[in-house]
Amino acid sequence: MKAGALELGHASKVTATVPQKGVNRGMSILDLFLRIIVIIATLGSAIAMGTTNETLPFFTQFIRFRAKYSDLPTFTFFVVANAIVSAYLVLSLGMSIFHIMRSRAQASRIALIFFDAAMMALLTAGASASAAIVYLAHKGNTKANWFPICQQYDSFCHRTSGSLVGSFIGIIIFILLVLFSAVALSRR
């Protein structure tokens, strides 16, 4: 009876290891592909926010009606965070290719999960802080007496709002990346 049960167990192990390795490799390839998409998204966001520069066609003696991303420290943090995340992703492409070749690597997958989670937190911080400021620029706030500047700086507002989209797409894909790494880690 013991030999029979072991026979069944043995058979299931033999048939299970071959497609498992294939699924692992497929997920690693998908991981690489998604990483390239996030690089494009975050780099696009950083460049879109970094090249904002709008000057209104009138000025007085005291006030210059010009808006750049560096006028708001939150937007500066957004550009820096997106740049750091893009650089990290370019460096982690090598690690991802290594995982395609060696599906059994464990310590490097755990390190990748940790860095992916940390970079996702950085990206989320930059994106949501900028989202709060963009919302304020669109709507203003009556209690704090903050005026909605989008009514004056139209193209600046459009550009900053649009650059948020790439960042948020990057966040969602990062969650998928962590999921794929974890599933690949738990299967053998």
Partner 1 sequence: MDSKSKSHETAINISETESNKGKSTAAATIVATTKAIPHNQKGGWRRGVAIFDFILRLCGLVAALAAATTMGTTDETLPLFTQFFQFEASYDDLPAFSYFVVANAIASGYLVLSLPFSIVCIVRPHLVGARLVLLILDTVMVAFTTAGAAAAAAIVYLAHNGNSTTQWQAICQQFGDFCQQVSGAVVASFIAAVIFIFLVIFSALSLRRH
Told to check if 18 binds partner 1 by CB under 8 A, we report no
Nearest to 53 by CA among 39, 69, 40: 69
Dihedral sign computed on CA atoms, order 12, 14, 19, 24: positive
What's the token pair of residue 96? 């991802």
Which of residues 48 and 184 has its CB atom nearest to partner 1 in the complex? 184
Q: Out of 20, 74, 76, 161, point to the residue binding partner 1 (CB under 8 A).
A: 74
Taking the complex as a whole, the smallest distance from the CB of residue 166 to partner 1 amounts, in Å, to 16
Q: Out of 20, 80, 95, 128, point to the residue binding partner 1 (CB under 8 A).
A: 128
3-state secondary structure 82-122: HHHHHHHHHHHHHHHHHHHHCCCCCHHHHHHHHHHHHHHHH
Told to check if 33 binds partner 1 by CB under 8 A, we report no
What's the token pair of residue 123? 């990206």
Options 20-28, 31-39, 143-151, 157-165: segment touching partner 1 (CB under 8 A): 143-151
Which of residues 83 and 178 has its CB atom nearest to partner 1 in the complex? 178
Q: Out of 15, 108, 141, 155, point to the residue binding partner 1 (CB under 8 A).
A: 141
